[in-house]
């Protein structure tokens, strides 16, 4: 059974890999045997050091994913270094919190660009290589707000709804090529994006009161999920949005 989850010899690209969920998933993939290309707008030095300590290879690429041209550059560098792309984790994202009545066009466009447009075109970029080998795993990071509307985050909710639908659309077209496209929908996780919520005693209590697990999620909670979706254990899982939320949606 353990061989189903073995990622030795695989190459993964993880965006937003320097901290938080991206770091947690990168470490999980490396622990399962994968070499990891760490993409972020800052150097992922901490993640890089931890993965190298596991005996895996890494490639750090600093890039601004707001610029679509960076996607081709990242894929090209990965192919030059490792020869193939087996796994893509579309994790990079931003959130802007403003009441809908005051939400700016700039904030709307930037969130939609990074959180949803990048997911599609990065997936397209790696799929061209995956199709040649009839094998590949694409993992998109959705959200509870792929299902719910949230408060004061209209563009984030819209972008994560788009992630869920793009995941299904790509799975419909690419499953026949041996490419599994799925998504992880994290619940309320202890990351930089939720710092303001966790520091607000009223909002934090309201959130925790609804989570059956009675705690905020941790980046490590996504490690095993990422390995499952990146491995042969999930070969017949296509177009699924896997919720990892401590039971939030079940309430």
Catalytic center residues: 156
Token pair listed for 124: 């397209």
């Amino acid at each position: 059974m353990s061989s189903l989850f073995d990622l030795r010899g695989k190459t993964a690209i993880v965006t937003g890999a320097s901290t938080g969920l991206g770091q947690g998933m990168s470490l999980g993939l490396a622990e399962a045997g994968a070499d990891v290309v760490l993409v972020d707008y800052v150097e992922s030095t901490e993640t890089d050091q931890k993965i190298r300590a596991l005996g895996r290879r890494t490639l750090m690429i600093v890039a601004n994913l707001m610029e679509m041209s960076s996607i081709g550059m990242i894929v090209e560098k990965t192919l030059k270094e490792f020869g193939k792309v087996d796994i893509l984790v579309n994790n990079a994202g931003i959130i802007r919190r403003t009441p809908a009545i005051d939400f700016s066009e700039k904030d709307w466009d930037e969130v939609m660009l990074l959180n949803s447009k990048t997911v599609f075109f990065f997936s397209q970029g790696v799929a061209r290589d995956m199709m040649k080998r009839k094998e590949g795993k694409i993992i998109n990071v959705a959200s509870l707000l792929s299902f719910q509307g949230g408060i004061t985050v209209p563009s984030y909710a819209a972008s994560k709804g788009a992630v869920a639908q793009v995941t299904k659309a790509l799975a419909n077209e690419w499953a026949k090529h041996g490419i599994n496209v799925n998504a992880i929908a994290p619940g309320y996780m202890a990351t930089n994006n939720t710092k303001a919520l966790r520091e607000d005693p009223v909002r934090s209590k309201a959130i925790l009161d609804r989570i059956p697990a009675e705690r905020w999620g941790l980046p490590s909670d996504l490690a095993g999920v990422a390995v499952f979706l990146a491995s042969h254990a999930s070969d017949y899982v296509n177009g699924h949005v896997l919720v990892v939320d401590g039971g939030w949606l079940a309430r």
